[in-house]
Amino acid sequence: MKPAPFQYNRAETLSEATSMLATLKNARLLSGGQSLMSMMNLRYVTADHLIDLNRVQELAGIALDETHLRVRGMTRQRSLLEHQPLLARAPIFREALEFVGHIQTRNRGTVGGSLAHMDPAAELMGLAALMGAEITMTSEGAQRQVAIADYPLGYMTPNIEPLEILTDVAFELWPEGHGWDFREFAQCHGDFAVVGVGTLIANDDSGMIERAATVLIGVDDQPVRLRDVEDMLTGETPSESLFRDAGALASKHDMMGDALVTSAYRKQIAGVLVRRSLTQAVKRATEQKNV
């Protein structure tokens, strides 16, 4: 037993949870607990009350339509990895989610919890930035939608008000036949990435790149969309030299340094990963067209 004393409160419904949040003093929401409990065990976080959302059944669920994936906040990360229609429609989810922690943490960890925690290397935040996600917050009697561009406010600080619960996230899906890639460099599998990159590519019938999206994680306090790289690729015919130039451009972005990894090293790794990721995503886009 490591955490400081707190009172445990179990919510059974969303309205019960928002009402607890509005009335209990110094309360924290307990989602999958795979970050919060660690931080409480280390006493980085102390709370007078925990409001457990794990029994709120209405807060878990996955809905897939023509254009969007909608996920409720308490959906387990494992549930996305088991959702075959999603993995067929947007295979990048499989590739990215396999990097999220470990089997044991994905079994408990939730989509909403990861987005609310907002670790700089969080894969789900990276996918949200890559796929133009919209995030819904619910408080007593009110809802608020936030576009992913307006969601991060700073280091591990999301745009969630004190009385709000992150209840939904909608990811915009790419058309059938797109190419994808998600890869990371980390000291060992499941560690926080030194650098991670996600890429989506859509080719036209002649093989020209029609649309490109690329995101880096782990390099700044929030995911970084590489708009300059995307512009460079759009309308071009794929080639090794194009991917090399794109990697070089990616490595020009400012990146953080920390006690273990310098900024210069991150930039070098990012350049290589972006080049490889584009190569793979374009290859898959071509294969999809030829199916």
Q: What is the helix (H) or strand (E) element at residue 275, kind and residue range?
A: helix 263-290
Q: Which stretch binds another protein (CB under 8 A): 1-9, 115-123, 194-202, 271-279?
A: 1-9
- Residues between 177 and 216 with contacts to another protein, criterion CB under 8 A: 188-190
Is 8 an interacting residue with respect to another protein (CB under 8 A)? yes
At 150, list the tokens: 């307006």
Beta-strand ranges (E) seen in the chain are 7-10, 27-30, 49-52, 62-64, 68-72, 134-139, 142-147, 152-154, 157-158, 165-172, 179-185, 195-203, 209-217, 224-225
- Give the residue, chosen from 15, 19, 105, 288, that forms a contact with another protein under the rule CB under 8 A: 105
In the complex, least distance from residue 81 CB atom to another protein, rounded to whole angstroms: 10
Q: What is the CA radius of gyration of the chain?
A: 20
In the complex, least distance from residue 52 CB atom to another protein, rounded to whole angstroms: 6
Is 107 an interacting residue with respect to another protein (CB under 8 A)? yes
The answer to whether 196 and 123 have CB atoms below 8 angstroms apart is yes
What are the helix (H) ranges across 135-235? Answer: 227-233
In the complex, least distance from residue 3 CB atom to another protein, rounded to whole angstroms: 5
Q: Which stretch binds another protein (CB under 8 A): 102-110, 156-164, 201-209, 235-243?
A: 102-110
At 246, list the tokens: 């794109």
- Give the residue, chosen from 17, 20, 92, 101, that forms a contact with another protein under the rule CB under 8 A: 101
- Residues between 21 and 80 with contacts to another protein, criterion CB under 8 A: 33-34, 37-38, 41-42, 50, 52, 54, 78
How far, in Å, CA of 139 to CA of 162, rounded? 9
Residues of this chain that bind another protein (CB under 8 A) = 1-8, 10, 33-34, 37-38, 41-42, 50, 52, 54, 78, 98, 101-105, 107-108, 188-190
